[in-house]
Amino acid sequence: MNKWGIGLLIVNLLAAVGLTYYALEDRAKRRDINAAVARYYLALHGLPVDGAKISGDSVDIHIETANGVPIDGIPVKVLQTYLDAPGGARFGATGDPVTTQFAEVNRVVQQVNAAVGGMNTPREKLAFLAGSFANPGGRRTFTPGILVYLARNADDRDAARELAKNPNGENAGKALQIFSKIAADVTTPGADSVVRSRVAHFLTSLEPTDDGWQKRVALVVGLRTYLKAISEQDLVFQDIANRVARRYEDDQATFVAQYQLLTKLSIQRSLLLSRQEEIKNELDVQQQKDSELLNMKKSSKDKSVKIFEDLSKEVATQSAANAALESAVHNSQRTVGQLLDEILKLEADLNAVEQQRNKGR
Amino acid sequence: MLTPIAKALVFFNLLASVGLLSWAASAAFNRPDYAQKPADVTKGNEDPYADDTDNIERLQWKVEKLSDAIKYAQTGYARSSAAASDAELIREYRAGKFAVKLGEARNGAFKTFVYLPKSALIDVNAPGEPVLGVDKKPVRGLDSVQQDLAKSIRDSDGFLTQSEQRRNEFKALALDMDVLDAKIAKQKDILVQLKNEYEYLSDRRTDWDSQLRTLKKRKDQVSAVMARLAGK
């Protein structure tokens, strides 16, 4: 090989090394760009609803991009970087990142069930699931629970609040049943947009007041669906508030009707009472008169009894006097009889004496 | 003359050059718009709901616009949620106050309604004035009136019962009095008869006493004659 050949070979080898370096550099940049595009698409659309799994170092997520070049699979690290939102204290995630929205739903449902299972009292369970009432400083407040936030209409919300009003074991069981049914409905198959909307509504409603959790939900369901979900629920809340406000007037109309009926009845009864009081007073006067007449009659009877008793005594006294007199008469009669007998005897003796004297002459 | 090694290298070099040229041409003609974007597209007119680009900057704009919208939506969500809870609490509070007023309407007194300014709603915290009845007196609660009415009816029934009892007692006393009067009349008759009998017996006793005195004189006379005759 002459000098030119050797020189060209060296130049050629150097060019090949440079090109190889350039190609590797380009590949790395392209992967970075692909990862960035994938994260933006995930941010806009969210995780797949179902089906994506981790295999090795990558997640088999398929993303159709606008330029027609699909992204098939992203590194696990990209997903971990994307889901850099643990989700708050209550529903925070640890370990491998979830790869689908259904996986996230199932994960939080398990956490809800575990949290409810760990609570000791029905009051705690209902406060978590349905909400809780309190009266700090004499002012009644309500802290909504999951079911109240999940309610799609005023009736469902009222039902949840009614459960919260009576924190007992029965209501806690009912609340958990309702939650389980809603959670099962969320993962029911359906049109992709419908299912995404259901999942977004379910996840956002679990803990709307926790910014950490809401950030995670936005990343899981995607910003568009998240925005749509909270906007729709905002309208639901507005509708509920408006319905409740309209019920002020219904409640008031019912109250006024009852109040006026009571007023009318009370006035009528007051008139009846007035008349009845007059009748009562008349009857009272009459019974007092009857009482006076009765007392007079009793007094009269007492006098008659006294008269009768006096008469009876007088009769008895008179009767005794008559008996004594009658006895005295009988004694006189008997004495007269005895005297008559004695006189007759004396006269007989006298006649006998006179006859003897006459014979003697 | 080239050696066989040099020939092979040239051939390999040629193949690599054609491959790189093809790849470069493909990359140039199928260039994705990761960095390039149309000049008329700005963040202001970027549609965050359209999947129309892979341009990193535009994707960033979409995300930022959605994030801004989410902030507003979250504010609205929180406000609406609080408004719903407030409305429910207000409704329950008003319902509780209405229940109290209905309780007063039963056991206290009726009051006039005071309405909130520029509203058809009743001010449930305003005390109101007493509602006056036809007698110009405050109308009392229905249950209170009912209780008084029931008591008045019971009292009236009691008075009626008392009157009836006293009249029955009066009738019984009147019957007793009739019997007693008859007995008194009889006793009076008996007493008159006894007194008459007493007078009769007194007269008889006088007669007998007179006769007794006469007989005693006769006896004394006969005894005296007998004594004289016996003495001679």
Using CB atoms, which residue from B98, B180, B201 is nearest to A301? B180
pLDDT band at A6 (very low <50, low <70, confident <90, very high): confident
The DSSP-derived string for B13-50 is HHHHHHHHHHHHHHHHHT---SS---TT--STT--TT-
**At residue A73, what are phi and psi to the nearest 5 degrees?**
90, 135
**A319 and chain B in contact, CB less than 8 A:** yes
d(CA A219, CA A214): 9
Cβ distance A130 to A163 under 8 Å? Answer: yes
DSSP state of B117: T
ipTM for the assembly: 0.76
d(CA A127, CA A112): 13
Q: In this complex, do A19 and B204 lie within 8 Å of one another by their Cβ atoms? A: no
Q: Which residues of B touch A33 (CB under 8 A)?
A: 34, 56
What is the predicted pLDDT for the residue at A26?
Answer: 81
What is the average pLDDT across A27-34? Answer: 83
What is the predicted pLDDT for the residue at B2?
Answer: 62
What is chain A's length?
361
Q: Which residues of B touch A19 (CB under 8 A)?
A: 16, 20
**Cβ neighbours, 10 Å, residue B168:** 11
Using CB atoms, which residue from A142, A276, A343 is nearest to B85? A142
pLDDT tens digit string along A69-128? 788 889 999 998 898 887 777 888 777 788 999 999 999 999 999 999 999 999 999 999
Using CB atoms, which residue from B54, B89, B223 is nearest to A66? B54
Cβ distance A325 to B198 under 8 Å? Answer: yes
Using CB atoms, which residue from B60, B90, B102 is nearest to A259? B102
Using CB atoms, which residue from B98, B120, B142 is nearest to A265? B142
**A308 and chain B in contact, CB less than 8 A:** yes
Q: What value does the CA radius of gyration of chain B take, rounded to a whole number of Å?
A: 69
pLDDT band at A205 (very low <50, low <70, confident <90, very high): very high
Q: In this complex, do A251 and B67 lie within 8 Å of one another by their Cβ atoms? A: no
**Cβ neighbours, 10 Å, residue A236:** 21
What is the predicted pLDDT for the residue at B1?
Answer: 54
- Own/partner contacts of B142-149, CB < 8 Å, gap of 24 or more, are B142/A262, B142/A265, B142/A266, B142/A269, B142/B105, B142/B106, B143/B106, B143/B107, B144/B106, B144/B107, B144/B108, B145/A266, B145/A269, B145/A270, B145/A273, B146/A269, B148/A273, B149/A269, B149/A272, B149/A273, B149/A276
The position carrying tokens 């000098």 is: A3
How many Cα neighbours within 13 Å face the side chain of B207? 8
Nearest CA in chain A to B225: A350
**A257 and chain B in contact, CB less than 8 A:** no
pLDDT band at A167 (very low <50, low <70, confident <90, very high): very high
d(CA A286, CA B170): 14
**A212 and chain B in contact, CB less than 8 A:** no
Q: List the one residue out of A124, A207, A135, A233 whose CA is nearest residue B92.
A: A135
Interface size, chain A vs chain B, as Cβ–Cβ contacts under 8 Å: 295
Tokens of residue A261, six digits: 């009926």
d(CA A329, CA B65): 152
Using CB atoms, which residue from B52, B218, B229 is nearest to A66? B52
Q: Which residues of A touch B113 (CB under 8 A)?
A: 256
Q: Give Cβ neighbours of residue A179 (< 8 Å, ≥ 6 apart).
A: A112, A129, A146, A147, A150
Using CB atoms, which residue from B34, B191, B215 is nearest to A339? B215
- CA distances B98 to A314, B43, B105, B159, Å, are 84, 55, 10, 41
**C-alpha B59: how far from chain center:** 65
Lowest mean pLDDT among A47-61, A139-153, A170-184, B32-46: B32-46
Q: Which residues of B touch A68 (CB under 8 A)?
A: none
Q: In this complex, do A343 and B218 lie within 8 Å of one another by their Cβ atoms? A: yes
d(CA A265, CA A108): 58
CA distance B219 to chain A (A): 5
**A208 and chain B in contact, CB less than 8 A:** yes
Q: In this complex, do A325 and B54 lie within 8 Å of one another by their Cβ atoms? A: no
Q: In this complex, do B139 and A266 lie within 8 Å of one another by their Cβ atoms? A: yes
Using CB atoms, which residue from A44, A223, A272 is nearest to B70? A223
Q: Indicate the average pLDDT of chain A.
A: 91
Nearest CA in chain B to A226: B70
Q: In this complex, do A287 and B159 lie within 8 Å of one another by their Cβ atoms? A: yes
Q: Give Cβ neighbours of residue B229 (< 8 Å, ≥ 6 apart).
A: A350, A353, A354, A357
CA distance B41 to chain A (A): 16
CA distance A286 to chain B (A): 7
d(CA A207, CA B77): 13
Q: What value does the CA radius of gyration of chain A take, rounded to a whole number of Å?
A: 61
Q: In this complex, do B81 and A144 lie within 8 Å of one another by their Cβ atoms? A: yes
d(CA A16, CA A29): 20
**C-alpha A246: how far from chain center:** 23
The position carrying tokens 């994307």 is: A82
Highest mean pLDDT among A61-65, A147-151, B38-42: A147-151
pLDDT tens digit string along A299-321? 999 999 999 999 999 999 999 99
Q: List the one residue out of A202, A182, A25, A11 whose CA is nearest residue A105.
A: A202
Nearest CA in chain A to B122: A252
Q: Which residues of B touch A286 (CB under 8 A)?
A: 159, 163
What is the predicted pLDDT for the residue at B147?
Answer: 94
pTM of the model: 0.72
Which residues does chain B have with pLDDT short of 70?
1-2, 30-32, 232
Best residue of A273, A301, A317, A356 to probe chain B, by most B CBs closer than 10 Å: A273
Please say whether the dihedral angle defined by the alpha carbons of residues B176, B178, B182 and B185, taken in this order, is positive or negative. positive
d(CA A127, CA A119): 11
pLDDT tens digit string along A255-286? 999 999 999 999 999 999 999 999 999 999 99
Q: Which residues of A touch B101 (CB under 8 A)?
A: 255, 259
